[in-house]
């Protein structure tokens, strides 16, 4: 057990590599209840959200989910989050556990009009079922037409007799579902899912596998690859910034970056030499520091060391060889296409 944003959570159950491979080959079950949820309710909910986040919330239909950064005036990323359109005047925002308080204060300061904002984090537990067998497992104990549920869509349904939100989202890059239920029903739901998943080799998976799985898919981790000192364009998230919107916080600065350029870019690399690259290690080209590792670790699928790093743009092309400084020694790596797997 480790302390994560004041939640006591398992880093691993049966071993990170074992859990990682279960999710890629069959299925894994994660407790993601630490995530925060806010409810936006009122006639002006959409207008307020449009101002708060960089992506276009107006594109959502009821039953759809949107991934988006939320930026400050400088374009720095306050958080990356999901928005669920529950109805035309009701939206749920799902934020990172470590940022719940910060996000809530920021949002409160910037909203106006006919809108009720409520922190409902305590009202939801979140269980994520991820992996190619996740649909088959879920179908064993639920009745809604899950085959028709598309990526980044959700519905309200029943699993093991419990009413909940079934969302086809996840942080692993596999087919998968995130289930939002009431906290006092979460343990029962977990056990029923484990039972239903037994014949599919479903394994419980911890924070360790969550990290290695997202890294192989180059999904940003807040606090590592993105934070308030980084903006969505350099993080490779320009697809989540809709400049056609009238206005949103950070738009002016981000437009300026888009027009006049910016210094660094988030790239993926693979180690050529033996070693393991970790967050914070410096990256060099000959004698010049050109960047820093933002996430690094072991890829169970590639059986080697991979990572993400911010490097100066002129050194960021695919196949470019770089040196990663590990304990004062230069270790060879190469910039590769992402996702890694």
Residues 108, 110, 274, 332: which binds another protein (CB under 8 A)? 274
By CB under 8 A, residue 327 contacts another protein: yes
CA distance 274 to 265: 25
CA distance 152 to 165: 13
By CB under 8 A, residue 72 contacts another protein: no
Residues 4, 7, 10, 17: which binds another protein (CB under 8 A)? 17
Number of residues near another protein (by CB under 8 A):
18
CA distance 212 to 38: 28
CA distance 61 to 58: 8
- Smaller CB separation from another protein, 16 or 308: 16
At 338 the three-state DSSP class reads coil
Binding-site string for another protein from residue 182 to residue 221, where x marks contact by CB under 8 A and - marks none:
--------------------------x--xx---------
Residues 275, 291, 323, 338: which binds another protein (CB under 8 A)? 275
Are 332 and 287 in contact, with CB atoms under 8 Å apart? Answer: no
CA distance 97 to 222: 10
Judged on CB neighbours under 10 Å (0-12, 13-18, 19+), 147 is exposed
Are 275 and 267 in contact, with CB atoms under 8 Å apart? Answer: no
Nearest approach, Cβ of residue 51 and another protein (Å): 39
By CB under 8 A, residue 297 contacts another protein: yes
Q: Which stretch binds another protein (CB under 8 A): 12-20, 133-141, 159-167, 243-251?
A: 12-20
Are 159 and 196 in contact, with CB atoms under 8 Å apart? Answer: no
By CB under 8 A, residue 305 contacts another protein: yes
Residues 7, 10, 12, 153: which binds another protein (CB under 8 A)? 12
Q: Residues in the site for another protein, rule: CB under 8 A?
A: 11-12, 15-18, 208, 211-212, 274-276, 278, 297-298, 300, 305, 327
């Amino acid at each position: 057990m480790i302390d994560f944003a004041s939640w006591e959570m398992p880093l691993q159950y049966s071993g990170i590599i074992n859990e990682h491979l279960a999710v890629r080959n069959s299925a894994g079950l994660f407790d993601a209840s630490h995530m925060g949820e806010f409810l936006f309710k009122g006639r002006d909910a959409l207008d307020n959200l449009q101002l708060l986040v960089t992506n276009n919330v107006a594109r959502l239909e009821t039953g759809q989910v949107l991934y988006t950064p939320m930026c400050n005036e400088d374009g720095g990323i306050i958080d990356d989050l999901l928005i669920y359109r529950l109805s035309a005047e009701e939206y749920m925002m799902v934020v990172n556990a470590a940022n719940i308080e910060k996000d809530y204060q920021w949002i409160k300061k910037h909203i106006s009009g006919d809108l009720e904002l409520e922190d409902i984090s305590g009202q939801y537990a979140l269980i994520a079922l991820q992996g190619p067998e996740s649909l088959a497992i879920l179908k064993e104990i639920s009745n809604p037409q899950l085959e028709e549920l598309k990526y980044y869509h959700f519905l309200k349904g029943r699993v093991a007799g419990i009413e909940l939100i079934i969302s086809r989202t996840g942080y692993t890059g596999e087919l998968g579902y995130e289930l939002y239920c009431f906290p006092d029903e979460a343990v029962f739901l977990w056990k029923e899912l484990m039972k239903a998943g037994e014949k599919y080799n479903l394994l419980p998976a911890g924070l360790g596998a969550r990290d290695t799985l997202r890294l192989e898919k180059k999904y940003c981790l807040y606090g590592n690859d993105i934070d308030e000192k980084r903006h969505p364009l350099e993080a490779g998230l320009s697809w989540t910034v809709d400049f056609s919107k009238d206005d949103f916080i950070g738009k002016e600065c981000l437009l300026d970056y888009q027009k006049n350029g910016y210094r660094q870019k988030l790239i993926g690399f693979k180690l050529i030499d033996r070693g393991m690259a970790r967050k914070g290690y410096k990256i060099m080209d000959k004698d010049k520091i050109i960047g820093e590792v933002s996430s690094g670790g072991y890829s169970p699928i590639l059986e080697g060391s991979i990572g993400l790093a911010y490097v100066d743009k002129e050194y960021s092309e695919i196949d470019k060889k770089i040196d990663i400084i590990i304990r004062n020694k230069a270790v060879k790596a190469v910039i590769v296409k992402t996702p890694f797997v």
